[in-house]
A and B are shown apart, each in its own frame.
Chain A
């Protein structure tokens, strides 16, 4: 009786029901070749297990312990503004339990009520309220219309992320505003405007906190999700972006 390799493997992993297990055992008894295959499976399992065993002894970084316990503890990532003598209790937990995110429907009223300080650069607002919608303004609008992801200066005030054609038929682009309160958002071309679909505080810790961590490479979850939902096809590559820009970010042939 020949035993399929997958069954032999499951036997080595202790995953077979008693009946199949007995059948395998009696088949193995008379088959040296199968015994060898079984030994191989076991040896590999053993080898993989022991190769990774040491990783369990490594120290867990404090930031992960803090994330679980929800305590500030001793933050290992601190902004330059953090005083070395600051009381631990004065440091807010770094867990980003509720990142605030402004869906477009609420954005206009929120921006009026709160005034998003960090959306203003050099005295110029980057977003404006227009007919109940939020539209990009100044440097942000300029970057959305002209800046290609592939050739942007590393110190540009606005960094473009991914550009794509949305299910709505509009071109949309993600952007980040580097800085202490790194923020990110998604804008879609509507007529001559870039309508802001979403604003998030990016990978920063939220407004008003002196400690911040470096932006890292993660796109904020809410933004990624929104992009995911709206994207109609693969994001534009360099040539695609260039072509879309040349066409004024409109899908209507001119």
Chain B
């Protein structure tokens, strides 16, 4: 299938349905990024809208899920930038929510996986989200994140280590 063929409405229809099938995973990934269900859906919607305007940029030999994950992530990055600049003055209270990782690590209460994930630094969280949650191969995940594979593996390793600690460590 070539790029030209992508323009036929039948193919576009086909891709749209593939994107529909991806929506649950896109939402899940977006939640990992945003840590907020409502933001996640907004970001997915924005990403879908962007993707549809540039369907011709997607090559059918590339994975559609990776391509969409990347658009979701970029949409979120743009949103965070816009929001951070505009709302910096107002958001100080919310930003404080994630302080206190250290104290949490010493609590005996076991965190849920999601809660533990939410405490990871963003770069580790998105690496884990793509590889462990979404099951992308390293190569695809590195491509989504625009980083070399070596960087991806070191983020994965650090993220896993942090999760292990937060989740109660040596249980196996």
List residues of A whose CB falls within 8 A of some B CB: 5-6, 9-10, 13, 15, 36, 39-41, 43-45, 47-49, 51-52, 55-58, 60-61, 63-65, 67-70, 95-98, 149-150, 161-162, 164, 174, 216-219, 221, 223-225, 227-228, 231, 235, 237-238
Contact = CB atoms under 8 A, between A and B. Distances in A.
A95 B172 CA distance: 49
A13 to B, nearest CB: 7
A102 B107 CA distance: 54
Residue in A44, A149, A225, A235 whose Cβ sees the most chain B Cβ within 10 Å:
A44
B56 interface: no
A39 B172 contact: yes
Nearest to A12: B160
- Identify the 7 closest CB pairs spanning chains A and B, nearest first: A51-B113, A224-B82, A219-B82, A56-B24, A161-B86, A48-B132, A67-B48
B87 A217 contact: yes
Contact of A44 (B135, B154, B164): B164
B4 interface: no
A137 to B, nearest CB: 23
B167 A47 contact: yes
Contact of A217 (B23, B83, B137): B83
Interface residues of B, number: 50
B52 A56 contact: no
A5 B164 CA distance: 14
B112 interface: yes
A174 B172 contact: no
7 contacts: A6-B153, A15-B138, A55-B28, A65-B23, A219-B83, A219-B86, A237-B88
Interface string B128-152: 1001110101100000000000000
B65 to A, nearest CB: 13
B85 A162 contact: yes
B122 interface: no
Contacts of A63: 41, 45
A48 B133 contact: yes
A106 to B, nearest CB: 21
B20 interface: yes
Contacts of B81: 224, 228
B157 interface: yes
Given A9-B160, A40-B164, A48-B113, A15 B132 contact: no
Contacts of B137: 15
Contacts of A6: 153-154, 156-157
